[in-house]
Amino acid sequence: MESINPHVPSVALFVTRSEIDFSHRSPNPICQRWFMVLYLKSEAKELALTVYPVNMKNPEQEFKKAYNSNPPVVVFHETTDKTSQVVLTDNRDIEAEISKRFPVMNMNSLKEAEDVCSNVYIKFHPYLKSSTGDLHEPMKLRTLLTELKRINDYLEETGTKFLSGNEMTFIDCDIMPKLQHIRVAGKYFKNLDIPNEYHALWAYMERCYQTKAFQESCPFDQDILMHYEGKVDSHNKPFGKTPTLQQPTMTLTIPE
C-alpha cells in the first residue's frame, strides 16, 4: 500500500503480512495500530506512507539485515536520500516521534480514555485460553465483560464520537484492532458475543468501521483466527473448515 507525495516527508511501515492474501492487512493488532495512525496522518497530508508486508515465516534477508527486528518497524526518511533515516521499533518511541515530527493533527489521547481501555485486551487472553472444564472460566468471562462495560459506560458518559473527542487519536488506533480481535476470535473460539446492550460501545465500533483508516488496515476474519491458532485449547476449536480453507470475510457491521 503506497501513498507517495514528493512534497511531504516519507514514512515506511513494515507489518506482518496477511496469510490470506499476503497483503498489508496485518493480523497483528500492534501493526494495525501504527497503520491506522500513519494512515490518518497521511490523510491529513502530513506524510507520504508506504506499507510493506513481511512474511514472518521466511523474512527477506534485506529486511532482517536492515532492521533486525520483528514488525512493526517504522522508518522515517530524513531526506530523499534513503541512507539518512530513523528506524524505530519501540511503541513509545514511535508514538513520541510521530507526535514530534507531525504535530499538525494532534492525536494525543486523554489519560482517562487510556485508563479505561488499558485492561480489556489483557483480560481477553486468559478467557480465550481457558480450557474446557476450567472452573475459573466464568470468572474470566465476567472480568472481560466488566472491562468492555467500562468502555461502554465511558463512551456513554462522554457522548463523543471517539474516545478522546470527536476525532480519532492514538487510543482509538490502539483499542479498535483489539476490540476486533475480541469480537472475531471470541465468537469463533468461545461463542462470545459482545452484549447488544452495550449500545455506546457498538455505536463507537460502527463509527470506527466507517473510517478509511480502519477499512484499509483491517485484517480478514480468518487472519485474526489464525493469529490465535496454537494459543487456544484444542477443544475450543469449532468443527468444520479451518480458517485457511474458509472463504475470506471481514466483519465491519454491527448487530441490528
Under a CB-based contact definition with an 8 Å cutoff, are residues 181 and 121 in contact? yes
Lowest mean pLDDT among 82-86, 116-120, 129-133, 183-187: 82-86
- Cβ atoms within 10 Å of 91's Cβ, excluding its own: 14
Q: Is residue 85 part of a domain?
A: yes
Same structural domain, 93 and 23: yes
Band (63; pLDDT cuts 50, 70, 90): confident
- The CATH number of residue 89's host domain is 3.40.30.10
d(CA 26, CA 29): 8
pLDDT for the residue numbered 34: 98
Q: What is the mean pLDDT of residues 4-27?
A: 88
Band (60; pLDDT cuts 50, 70, 90): confident
Nearest in space to 178 (alpha carbons), one of 143, 141, 147? 147
Same structural domain, 21 and 83: yes
Q: What is the mean pLDDT of residues 119-132?
A: 94
Same structural domain, 196 and 234: yes
Q: Where are the beta strands (DSSP E) in 168-252?
A: none
pLDDT for the residue numbered 68: 85
241, pLDDT greater than 70 = no
Same structural domain, 187 and 142: yes
Same structural domain, 124 and 66: no
pLDDT for the residue numbered 133: 83
- The CATH number of residue 125's host domain is 1.20.1050.10
pLDDT for the residue numbered 3: 52
Note down the domain range covering 213.
111-245
Q: Is residue 11 part of a domain?
A: yes
Which of 69, 101, 133 is the last residue before a domain boundary? 101
Which of 44, 70, 101 is the last residue before a domain boundary? 101
Reported pTM: 0.93
Under a CB-based contact definition with an 8 Å cutoff, are residues 158 and 194 in contact? no
Same structural domain, 9 and 68: yes
Same structural domain, 91 and 26: yes
- In angstroms, the Cα distances linking 94 to 99, 100, 174, 224 are 9, 10, 13, 24
Task: Provide, rounded to the nearest whole percent, the portion of the chain with pLDDT above 90.
Answer: 78
Helix, coil or strand: residue 96: helix
Same structural domain, 21 and 73: yes
Same structural domain, 35 and 143: no
Which of 40, 73, 101 is the last residue before a domain boundary? 101
Q: Which residue has the higher pLDDT, 66 or 71?
A: 71
Q: What is the pLDDT of residues 192-235, one digit of tens each?
A: 999 999 999 999 999 999 999 999 999 999 999 999 988 887 77
Q: Is residue 106 part of a domain?
A: no
d(CA 130, CA 209): 29
Q: Is residue 250 part of a domain?
A: no
Same structural domain, 145 and 180: yes
Q: Is residue 251 part of a domain?
A: no
Q: Is residue 38 part of a domain?
A: yes
Q: What is the pLDDT of residues 27-39, one digit of tens each?
A: 999 999 999 999 9
Q: What is the mean pLDDT of residues 232-248?
A: 75
Same structural domain, 30 and 145: no
Same structural domain, 85 and 155: no
Q: What is the mean pLDDT of residues 147-159?
A: 99
Average pLDDT, the chain: 92
For the chain, the domain total comes to 2
Which residues fall within 8 angstroms of residue 107, CB to CB, at 6 or more apart?
37, 40, 41, 98, 99, 168, 169, 170, 173
Under a CB-based contact definition with an 8 Å cutoff, are residues 98 and 37 in contact? yes
Band (82; pLDDT cuts 50, 70, 90): low
Enter the C-alpha cell of residue 105. Answer: 493533527
